[in-house]
Chains A and B, each alone.
Chain A
Amino acid sequence: MVKLQRARVNRVFFALGGILALAGAVTAQEPVPLRPEIQVEVLEDAWSIGDEKTYTLLFDRAPLGRQALRLVALRRLPGGAEEAVFRQRITLDLRALGQTGTLEHSGTVRYRGRNAGPYHYREGLLTKNGYATYRKQRDYENLVEVQLDPEAGTYRIGTPGTEEVTEAALPASARAILVDLLVLGHWERVFESRSSWPLGESLPQSLLIPSPLPRFDFHLPVTGPRAVSPVVAETRITVEAREPIEIFGAQVDTFRCRIEPTGLVLWVSPHGGVLRFDDGKGLSGSLEP
């Protein structure tokens, strides 16, 4: 049986990817030969502070946007626990959907040990395309600020600059792993959570999803940030096949994984990092070499 298995986890947050190995695999001319026993080699120094992993997002083969995840701090908390702080940003150019404006997202996700700590992000729609040096806040339409705290079991949604705040309790999520479906870097935590991912088998996985995967299309106008409605989804992850793919001209060997019921397909490297995804509705993304 071919298994995806974790070799060593000294610090959980070091297990978030193997991005350096991934980047090397993508840029290399020669395809990496797969061993019969596939292992997710969790490299202790996989993420260094300042490392950034970026994806190009496409919609119907047009560049829709870009997302980036960057490790900005590794800290020791007062109680002795360790924390990894990641900054993330997404920019979607809605002209690729035949619309106008830009959807921008920036946030911070913290991982404390095995668990996700507070997840905090801002998301807003810019009504005009393009970049301006002196941009004012009023250009954002429906800017929202979201704070999820899985440890405290609460979340709050607010609008910067106003007093409007909505607070509520998160659904019970003892085993759930936080995954923002639009942030590909979060999936690495999911694949790191098990010691093996047998090829051809379907395994259950509980996910804490802050908002459903947005549906983009030419006839579906994007009017603002994504709706926030945290749920704990019981998903099944199937490692369907071993499959070589081409990422921007480079041949890479991957495992194709299907996430049901979201309909997402992820191509994951033997090191556990997401190389490509496809939502089956026109949205796809690839790791930038």
Chain B
Amino acid sequence: MKPPKLAVLVLAGLLLPFLIAAKPSRTRLQGPITDFWNQVKREWAQSIPGLRKGPSQTYQWISLVYGSPGEDEFLDNLLEHEMRTWASLMERQWIRSMFWKKSYERLRRDSFYGSRALRKNLVVMGTPSSNPLLDEMTQGTPFSVDDGGIQIGSKRYQGTSLVLAFIRPNPLGENSYVLVLAASNQLALLSLTDLSLGPTDYVLFRGSHIVESGFLDWSDPQALTLAGGRLVNPDHQGWEELATDGVRVHYHPAEFSRHEVESFGEERALELEALQKFVGTGATVGWDEYLYPSLDVKMRHTSAPDPVSVDLAGAAIHRVWRPGQEVALWPAAMLQVWRHWGVTDLTGLLYGLSFLPGGELEGQSLQQWAGRLEGRRELRRAETLIPQNRFHGEDGARNVLQVLGLGAFLEHLAETRGRETVQAFYRKARRRNFRRVFRDIMGTSITRAETTWRRGLKDDGFQVAASPASSTPAPSSRVSQLMKRGESAFLERRDQEAAKLLSRAIELDPGQARARVLLARIAFRGDRDEEAILQARSALKARTEDPFVAAWARTTLGRALATQGNVNGARLELTDPAVAQGPDSPRRLADYWLETLGLSPNHAMAARYLSQQAELDLQRYDWDTAEKRVLRILSADPGNADAHHLLARVRLNKYRYWHDFAMLYNELFPGTIPSDPQQYFFLAQSSAQESRKGALLESGEYTPIDIDLGDALDPTPGAENVRGPRSVFVPRAAIGGDQHQQHFLRAEGFFLARDWKRAASNLTAILEIGIPVSNFRALVLYRLALCEFELDQPDEARKHLEEAASTTRDRAHRNEMLQLLKIQESREDQSLRFR
């Protein structure tokens, strides 16, 4: 090594303690949860400048301490997999981070590493029994967690599917955070990647539903208390419980009578018996049923958009149900199979098995489903035996469709080889390669068995036959006349008259498929779904060549099934080739229904759900899906300001990730072709554009058309408001992290809208958060000064401009600011505008 370099190193070594001591003594920690990664970045930015770039740069360490393994090996494996998936998504928040993951037990054994790791920014997760560190982390907070539930302040929540996430200062280290994810039951942590941690200091989930969220009072970091503004979304308040033999039914007395609930419970008790036989394990444990009168009500309580959802951790089934309606058996079977045959990584197989006890889904047998799917050459996709990780959550319906074929195949195996053989296959497949186990037990390969079974399938799904046109007799003139008058009345929406005329036409000519399809449409628009389904199926059975009939019959059938909550059946009808090959109108309509399928027609509810899912996608770094969801919200309502801000965040996040990635790549591989960090700059631009739109819409001065045209339709003159200043609602800019950028983009939006006060407020918020990058801080101060000049606060403006000039490391920027200060000094007019 050459002497000068050695000298530099020695000098650096001598200066190091001083440099460290010269660092700011304590960074202000104030939450929310999303500030965790900002703090990691701040710490990284405070490391020695020379170690912040290049191949030998210092990374920032974060430690994750999870619960020690228990006695159930399979559950532990599943939990560890979920935890590592979650952690791998989290660590993408900062590309220069190192995420160390150790169980509490392992950390305890490794005292050298443990003592250091615990002083860093920490993530602590688990249950009180699996991770004793949780006890320490909840001390000095208003939270407590035990096996039966979670307490927040004086309010206690009972349940086994509760997960509490909160942030607090690390009691074991200085200037660092602890992000705690505590559950009362280990099973609850299996849905870790479905939790959107959001913009608050703490959030309590039941399943993926946010039950309570809020902020903490950070004035005394050793004794945190609840701050005002707790947001409580109580689930099932005022509900009653009716216990029958093994099944506890929960309902609201205003929605269901006790008699209705009793008969529902009795039916489930019989179901329990059937399941007991199916599972064959003797005493079968019961479950909880929650009944909702509509999808909207269910979404309010569970945040799940499907008509039926299963909470495995809480052993509960949530259903939209109307008295007299048939109830699907597979959710209960899923719970039983899950409990009795244990947790497994062959989730797909488990779900496939859950179809066996009822042998049907949404009114069709599994073999019928398989026949329909095979007829459309979709069976191979649907019967995949490969285990899937995500069989629940927001895409539950689609995954149920995927395992439908598998369920049918298993049913076929159970019928031909006996149920015991299938059970034996499942048990052994958990531990070994399932294909090999299948061959050992069944004596043939899966592929061969599937091929044989597929050959025997028949599609009786009312396929439109390609019969020769000449075989259809021409309708009589009387029928033609009735049809003409009926169609005319139909188009005029004289539905009663149309129904009479069309029914008479059918009496005269029962093969009148066109009349049947019109009757189906009349029934559908009159809210008579059952009748619509019957008429549409009759129309399809008539086997006409008319593409109008086939397309409208499928579309009407799909729509009626969808409104009844049969999402899978609806999807199958709406994607039928007859619709795709038919006229434009039903095809477009079917596509539109497919897009909104499974969601409430209530736009506000749908937007809330999509927005929550987009947040989750963003957390999972699935930018494309997040963007699609937000675009759906904006397509229905381009005036939704929050959706504009969310879209801005999605694009900004994508831009920042790739920007950081390119920077790091260039540092690590300096000799290779450099990546341009700005190649995704268009994303940053569109992000800024969206954020501006959001701010303009929030201001109330602009509507979407105004923004498109670039001018306000009818700006409100600045006359004095009767009730003082405007109180237009502006949501928190800090939602979901990236707070600096969020505030900055908002400030730009308000700047553009000439709303100096709110622009200044957002810029001040950035300064309060604390910014490690001096150039950015200087830019914020500079913008703030401009706003303050506009607000006639010249002294403040001057102060901030001077601070900006002394902060920036950009010489040109500094000169520009000094120049502005000189100009300012030379003019007496204090209202000079620097733009």
- Using A93-B636, A95-B591, A289-B604 as known contacts, say yes or no to A72 and B686 having CB atoms under 8 A apart: no
CB-CB under 8 A from B603, the residues of chain A are 54, 56, 63, 66, 288
Pair A63/B254 contact, Cβ less than 8 Å:
no
B824 at the A/B interface (Cβ < 8 Å)? no
B154 contacts A by Cβ under 8 Å: no
**Cβ-based interface call for B325 (8 A):** no
Residues of A within 8 A of B559 (CB): 61-62
Known A29-B254, A98-B585, A282-B493; judge A248-B605 contact (CB<8 A). Answer: yes
A35 at the interface (CB under 8 A from B): no
How long is the Cα–Cα vector from A189 to B296 in the complex, in angstroms?
A: 30
Q: How far is the CB of B495 from chain A (nearest CB, A)?
A: 10
- B422 interface residue (CB < 8 Å to A): no
- Report the Cα distance A60→B701, complex, angstroms: 34
Task: Give the distance in Å from the alpha carbon of A257 to the alpha carbon of B807 in the complex.
Answer: 67
Cα distance A107–B635 when bound, in Å? 19
Shortest CB-to-CB span from A204 to chain B, Å, is 27
Query: Does B491 sit at the interface, judged by CB under 8 A?
Result: yes
Bound-state Cα–Cα, A268 to B637, Å? 25
| Interface: B470 (CB within 8 A) | no
Q: A62 to B705, Cβ gap below 8 A? A: no
**Cβ-based interface call for B719 (8 A):** yes
Q: Are B700's CB and A70's CB within 8 A?
A: yes
Given contacts A98-B588, A131-B631, A133-B690, A72 and B636 within 8 Å (CB-CB): no
B 556-567 to A, binary, CB cutoff 8 A, 1 in contact else 0: 000100010000
Find out whether the CB atom of A91 lies under 8 angstroms from the CB atom of B525: no
A85 vs B493: C-alpha distance in the bound complex, in angstroms? 38
Query: When the two chains form their complex, are residues A72 and B700 in contact, meaning their CB atoms are under 8 A apart?
Result: yes
Asked if B238 CB lies within 8 Å of chain A CBs, one says: yes
- Please state if A106 and B705 are interface contacts (CB–CB under 8 Å): yes
A62–B252 Cα gap in the complex (Å)?
28
Query: Interface residue tally of chain A, by bracket?
Result: 35 or more
Query: How far is it, in angstroms, between the C-alpha of A122 and the C-alpha of B702 when the chains are bound?
Result: 12
Contacting pair B721 A49 (CB below 8 A): yes
The reply to whether A89 and B584 contact each other, CB–CB distance below 8 Å, is no
With contacts A96-B589, A248-B294, A248-B296 taken as known, whether A217 is within 8 angstroms of B601 at the C-beta atoms is: no
Point out the residues of chain A lying under 8 angstroms from B591, CB to CB.
Answer: 95
Residues of A within 8 A of B634 (CB): 131
CB of B602 within 8 Å of the partner chain: yes
Contact of A121 among B295, B639, B647, B713 (CB under 8 A): B713
Instruction: Say yes or no for A31: interface residue by CB 8 A criterion.
Output: yes
Pick the interface stretch among B34-42, B613-621, B724-732: B724-732
**Given A50-B700, A63-B636, A137-B708: A74 and B722 interface contact (C-beta under 8 Å):** yes
Chain A residues, Cβ within 8 Å of B586: 98
Report Cα–Cα, A289/B300, bound state, in Å. 11
Asked if A130 lies at the interface with its beta carbon under 8 angstroms from chain B, I say yes
- Residue B704 CB within 8 A of the other chain: yes
A286 to chain B, nearest CB (A): 8
**Per-residue 0/1 for A124-159: is the Cβ within 8 Å of any B Cβ (1 yes, 0 no)?**
100001110111110110010100000000000000
Name the CB-closest residue of B to A139: B708
A248→B722 CA distance, assembly (Å): 36
Q: Is the Cβ of A99 less than 8 Å from the Cβ of B639?
A: no
Cβ A288 vs Cβ B602 within 8 A: yes
Q: Which of A76-125 contact B (CB under 8 A)?
A: 76-78, 82, 85, 87, 89, 91, 93, 95-100, 102, 104-108, 118, 120-122, 124
Q: Which residue of B lies closest to A102 (CB)?
A: B635
Contact with A along B705-740 (1 / 0, CB 8 A): 110110001101101111100111100000000000
Let me know if A30 and B254 touch, CB within 8 A: yes
Determine if B286 is an interface residue (Cβ-Cβ < 8 Å): no
Q: How far is the CB of B641 from chain A (nearest CB, A)?
A: 10
Q: Is the CB of A91 within 8 A of B637?
A: yes
Chain A residues whose C-beta falls within 8 Å of the C-beta of B722 in the assembled complex: 74-76, 82
Whether A218 pairs with B589 at a CB distance below 8 angstroms is: yes
B682 CB to closest chain A CB (Å) equals: 10
Q: Which residue of A lies closest to B687 (CB)?
A: A133
Taken together as a complex, chains A and B put the C-alpha atoms of A87 and B61 apart, in Å, by: 51
A146 to B254, CA, bound (A): 48
What A residues does B631 contact at CB under 8 A? 130-131
Residues of chain A within 8 A of B716, CB atoms compared: 72-73, 75, 85
Considering the complex, give the chain B residue whose CB is closest to the CB of A27.
B300
Inter-subunit contact B719/A248 (CB<8 Å): no
- Contacts A93-B636, A108-B714, A120-B714 given: A87-B703 contact, CB under 8 Å? yes
Q: A73-B721, A104-B705, A249-B295 are in contact. Are A49 and B592 (CB under 8 A)?
A: no
Residue contact B254 to A31, C-beta cutoff 8 Å: yes
A38–B172 alpha-carbon span in the complex (Å): 64
Given A133-B689, A288-B603: A50 in contact with B238 (beta carbons within 8 A): no
Q: Which residues of A contact B639 (CB under 8 A)?
A: 68, 89, 91, 106
* Contact call A95/B592, Cβ cutoff below 8 A: yes
Across the interface, name the chain B residue whose C-beta is closest to A120. Answer: B714
A155 → chain B closest CB, angstroms: 15
For residue A75, which residue of chain B has the nearest CB?
B719
Contacts of B703 in A (CB 8 A): 87, 89, 106-107
Contact: A288 with B604, CB < 8 Å?
A: yes
A73-B585 Cα distance, complex, nearest whole Å: 43
Q: Is B638 an interface residue (CB 8 A)?
A: yes
Compute how far the CA of A130 lies from the CA of B631 in the bound complex, rounded to whole angstroms.
Answer: 7
B832 at the interface (CB under 8 A from A): no
Given known A74-B723, A75-B721, A248-B296, contact A135–B708 (CB-CB < 8 A): yes
Contact (Cβ within 8 A) B601 A58: yes
**In whole angstroms, what is the CA distance A191 to B634 when docked?**
33
B593 interface residue (CB < 8 Å to A)? yes
State which residues 181-240 of A face B: CB under 8 Å.
217-219
B726/A73 in contact, CB under 8 A: yes
A residues in contact with B727, CB < 8 Å: 48-50
Interface: B600 (CB within 8 A):
yes
CA distance A115 to B300 in the complex (A): 40
> Chain B's nearest CB lies how many Å from the CB of A128?
10
Take A50-B727, A56-B604 as given contacts and tell me if A106 and B525 are in contact as well, using a CB distance cutoff of 8 Å: no
- The distance from the CB of B714 to the nearest CB of chain A, in whole angstroms, is 4
Contacts of A118 in B (CB 8 A): 714
A125 to B600, CA, bound (A): 26
Interchain CA distance A143-B713 in the complex, whole Å: 13
- Bound together, the chains give a CA A160 to CA B712 distance in angstroms of 12
- Given A75-B720, A104-B704: A137 and B709 interface contact (C-beta under 8 Å): yes
Which of B525, B603, B717 gathers most chain A CB within 10 Å? B603
Asked if B524 is at the interface of the complex by the 8 Å CB criterion, the answer is yes
Name B508-561 residues within 8 Å CB distance of A: 524-525, 527, 559
**Which residues of A (44-72) have their CB < 8 Å from a CB of B?**
48-50, 54, 56, 58, 60-63, 65-66, 68, 70, 72
Q: Do the beta carbons of A62 and B720 come within 8 Å of each other?
A: no
Residue of B nearest to A72 (CB): B700
The residue in chain A whose Cβ has the minimal distance to the Cβ of B606 is A63
- Shortest Cβ gap from A95 to chain B (Å): 4
Point out which of A56, A66, A145, A249 has the most chain B C-beta atoms below 10 A from its C-beta.
A249
Answer whether A29 and B585 are a contact pair too, CB < 8 Å, given A75-B719, A82-B722. no
- The interface of chain A, by Cβ under 8 A from chain B, is 29-31, 48-50, 54, 56, 58, 60-63, 65-66, 68, 70, 72-78, 82, 85, 87, 89, 91, 93, 95-100, 102, 104-108, 118, 120-122, 124, 129-131, 133-137, 139-140, 143, 145, 160-161, 217-219, 246, 248-251, 280-282, 286, 288-289
Known: A61-B525, A121-B713. 7 other contacts (CB 8 A): A66-B637, A91-B636, A91-B639, A95-B589, A218-B589, A219-B491, A248-B605
Name 28 A/B residue pairs within 8 A (Cβ), A-sorted. Answer: A29-B238, A31-B254, A49-B727, A49-B728, A50-B729, A61-B601, A62-B593, A62-B596, A63-B596, A72-B716, A75-B719, A75-B722, A76-B720, A91-B638, A98-B586, A99-B588, A104-B638, A106-B704, A107-B713, A120-B714, A131-B635, A137-B709, A161-B709, A219-B491, A219-B585, A249-B292, A249-B294, A249-B300
3 pairs of A and B residues whose beta carbons are closest in the complex: A106-B703, A98-B585, A249-B294
